[in-house]
């Protein structure tokens, strides 16, 4: 019973439902991401490469014949990530045109040379293959010191176009007053974060859950703002011959 509760709790961290409003400091961001990814998941199929896979939180959303997780080769990643392949951070260790789809979630902001990174994705992706890319627009610095950029929708379209991709769809997640509440919660979490998971949960219930509830209600009553949002979710296609 305890193991089930623990599994359910950790699922609420990446796939938050109703309980996530009370327990997840990043409720709005994570909820927006999973809904955005789910919208395009049917376009991701065949042999799939997850670049910067972490612990593969969205793998179950895709109908893949093979799902390959790729991560940067560091001692910490070897201990904490669930990748199939580790690499140096430059050339992907795969043959050209070897994947039908590529997913890359919340990684692009950590890439110092984004154009080279996109060209490498294009190299291993088959012609007409799909790229599902999620990237923050509004967020604080994280995973320091490897946090190098924030991307607007216009910047992403330009970068993808210059490097052999056609943007098919682009969604802006959480484009309303919840942006403000999420940033407030991120601030509170960073200033009150503790190692003890039970104390952390208690602090979330007391300090953060009220803002999750308030932001949810106010988002129903106030207009959206497409110029201020948390994340970009992009579905792109590799242009034939590139």
- Label residue 3 by pLDDT band (50, 70, 90): low
Q: Round the average pLDDT of the chain to a whole number and report it.
A: 95
Is 26 within a domain?
A: no
Domain-embedded: residue 100: yes
Residue 2: its pLDDT value, please? 59
Residue 86 pairs in a beta bridge with 71
pTM of the full predicted structure?
0.94
Residues 6+ apart with CB under 8 A from 52: 70, 71, 72, 104, 105, 106, 107, 110
241 is a domain residue: yes
Does 33 map to a domain? no
CB 62 within 8 A of CB 103: yes
Question: Is the link from the previous residue into 145 a cis peptide, with omega within 30 of 0?
Answer: yes
Number of domains, the chain: 1
Query: Looking at the domain assignment, is residue 36 inside a domain?
Result: no
Residue-wise pLDDT for 129-147, tens only, equals 999 999 999 999 999 999 9
pLDDT at 198: 86
Q: What is the pLDDT of residues 40-92, one digit of tens each?
A: 999 999 999 999 999 999 999 999 999 999 999 999 999 999 999 999 999 99
Give the separation between CA 3 and CA 194, rounded to whole angstroms.
22
Q: Is residue 207 part of a domain?
A: no
CATH of the domain at 126: 3.40.50.150
Residue range(s) defining the domain that contains residue 78: 45-138+145-175+225-242
Sheet containing strand 165-173, strands side by side: 85-87, 63-72, 45-51, 99-105, 125-136, 231-238, 165-173
Confidence of residue 242 (pLDDT cuts 50, 70, 90): low
Residue 15 domain-assigned (yes or no): no
Please give the pLDDT value at position 99. 98
Distances in whole angstroms, Cα of residue 168 to Cα of each of 36, 133, 238: 14, 12, 10
What pLDDT is recorded for position 11? 87
- Assess if residue 1 is contained within a domain: no
Q: How many residues belong to the chain?
A: 242
């Amino acid at each position: 019973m305890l193991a089930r509760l623990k599994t359910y709790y950790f699922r609420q961290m990446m796939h938050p439902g109703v309980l996530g409003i009370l327990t997840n400091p990043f409720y709005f961001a994570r909820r927006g991401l999973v809904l955005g990814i789910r919208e395009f998941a049917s376009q991701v199929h065949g042999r799939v490469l997850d670049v910067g896979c972490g612990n593969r939180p969205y793998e179950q959303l895709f109908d893949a014949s093979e799902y390959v997780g790729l991560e940067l080769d560091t001692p910490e990643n070897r201990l904490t990530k669930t990748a199939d392949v580790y690499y140096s951070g430059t050339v992907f260790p795969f043959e050209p045109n070897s994947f039908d789809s590529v997913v890359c979630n919340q990684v692009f902001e950590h890439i110092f040379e984004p154009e080279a990174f996109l060209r490498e994705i294009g190299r291993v992706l088959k012609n007409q293959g799909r790229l599902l890319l999620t990237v923050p627009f509004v967020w604080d610095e994280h995973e320091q010191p490897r946090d190098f950029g924030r991307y607007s929708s216009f910047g992403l379209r330009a970068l993808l176009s210059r490097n052999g991709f056609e943007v098919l769809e682009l969604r802006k997640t959480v484009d309303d007053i919840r942006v403000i509440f999420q940033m407030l919660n991120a601030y509170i979490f960073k200033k009150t974060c503790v190692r003890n998971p039970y104390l952390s949960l208690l602090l979330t219930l007391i300090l953060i859950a009220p803002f999750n509830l308030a932001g949810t209600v106010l988002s129903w009553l106030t207009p959206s703002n497409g110029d201020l949002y948390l994340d970009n979710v992009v579905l792109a296609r590799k242009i034939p011959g590139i």
